[in-house]
């Protein structure tokens, strides 16, 4: 499949080591006609995703390069009930140097050339993460709006967003109200996300669809389009807390909605699979999906992120195997 034509005015500084983003998605007035005819052929989706890993092989030095790129796209995340400031600061140290220096040296990469895409935490730890990452250029992403269920009152959701932005978060991962999707109340979903977009101010808005909860691929397609119409800069599969999180099937549907939005508006929207992406082989499948469906710019952290933590340890193991020919134990690659 040919790559999507990218309007030059929509892209800034898409190269390794930058935290620049494409231009903000200003959103559009709600237009229900955009949702007309949005139907998904599940069998066709499954056939397409089943062949992703077999259509392209990435081996040896090329695989190492793809995995290093995957590291730069990780939102290194801790969202546990027992999080502490100490754990968050250790995570930030890992984000600054995500791969051991000896492995980077063997691969010909200077340690300062590689960081993760962001660090993602609860609001409680935003200020600590911002302090720990000072001078690194790594943005802090805050989960917000009553994450993960999103069932707190709407005014409190807006206050939480505003508080995280005030503490220095440059990205806000919001959760949508699943009821609006399940009942087809698209205007309410649009209004909600539009309010979130306004509360974010300069911070980028990443809309979590909780695809494991909204049940059908057609719902995924429509919710994706509504969130982008409302001004989301990224659309994200999952909170990581649902029974089913990121899958290639829902990801294919979402990235095709991104492609359609691009064709209609000229605006680039990012994509973030989260939950269940825990090993290098799976990460490569998602990278291939992005390359084949959207093109080269969607392999960069400005437009693509993994919501993950354990993924980094497995990528480090694979890189050590590439360098030494031996697999090492997970405990030799601590995340935090």
182 neighbors 214 (Cβ within 8 angstroms): yes
The span from the CA of 224 to the CA of 246, in Å, is 14
Residues 6+ apart with CB under 8 A from 183: none
76 neighbors 116 (Cβ within 8 angstroms): yes
Active site residue 173: yes
The span from the CA of 126 to the CA of 167, in Å, is 6
Set 94, 206, 272, 291: catalytic member:
272
Active site residue 233: no
Kindly report the number of other CB atoms within 10 A of residue 79's CB atom: 19
305 neighbors 95 (Cβ within 8 angstroms): no
Active site residue 60: no
Set 75, 173, 195, 314: catalytic member:
173
Going by DSSP bridges, is the β-strand pair 74-77/306-308 parallel, antiparallel, or unpaired?
parallel
Set 236, 249, 291, 314: catalytic member:
236
Residues 6+ apart with CB under 8 A from 30: 186, 187, 190, 191, 226, 229, 230
Phi and psi, residue 175, nearest 5°: -110, 140
Give the single-character DSSP code of 119: E
Which residues does the annotation mark as catalytic?
173, 236, 272
């Amino acid at each position: 499949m040919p790559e999507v034509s990218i309007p030059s005015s929509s892209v800034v500084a898409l190269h390794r080591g930058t935290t620049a983003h494409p231009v903000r998605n200003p959103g559009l007035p709600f237009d229900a006609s955009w949702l007309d005819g949005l139907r998904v052929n599940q069998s066709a989706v499954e056939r397409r995703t089943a062949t992703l890993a077999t259509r392209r092989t990435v081996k040896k030095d090329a695989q190492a390069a793809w995995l290093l790129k995957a590291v730069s796209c990780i939102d290194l995340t801790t969202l546990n009930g027992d999080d502490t400031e100490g754990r968050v600061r250790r995570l930030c140290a890992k984000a600054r140097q995500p791969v051991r220096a000896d492995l980077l040296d063997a691969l010909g990469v200077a340690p300062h050339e590689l960081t993760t895409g962001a660090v993602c935490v609860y609001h409680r730890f935003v200020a600590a993460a911002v302090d720990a990452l000072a001078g690194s250029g790594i943005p802090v992403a805050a989960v917000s709006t009553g994450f993960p269920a999103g069932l707190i009152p709407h005014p409190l959701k807006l206050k939480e967003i505003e508080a995280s932005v005030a503490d220095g978060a440059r990205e806000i991962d919001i959760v949508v109200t699943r009821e609006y999707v399940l009942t087809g109340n698209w205007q309410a979903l649009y209004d909600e996300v539009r309010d979130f977009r306004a509360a974010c101010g300069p911070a980028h808005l990443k809309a979590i669809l909780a695809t494991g909860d909204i049940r059908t691929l057609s719902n995924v397609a429509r919710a994706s389009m509504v969130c982008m119409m409302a001004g989301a800069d990224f659309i994200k599969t999952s909170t990581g807390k649902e029974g089913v999180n990121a899958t290639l099937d829902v990801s294919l549907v979402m990235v095709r909605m991104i492609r359609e939005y691009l064709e209609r508006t000229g605006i680039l929207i990012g994509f973030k699979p989260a939950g269940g992406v825990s090993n290098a082989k799976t990460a490569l499948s998602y990278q291939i999906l992005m390359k084949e469906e959207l093109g080269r710019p969607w392999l960069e952290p400005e437009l693509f992120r993994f919501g993950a933590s354990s993924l980094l340890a497995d990528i480090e193991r694979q890189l050590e195997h590439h360098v030494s020919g031996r697999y090492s134990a997970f405990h030799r690659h601590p995340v935090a």
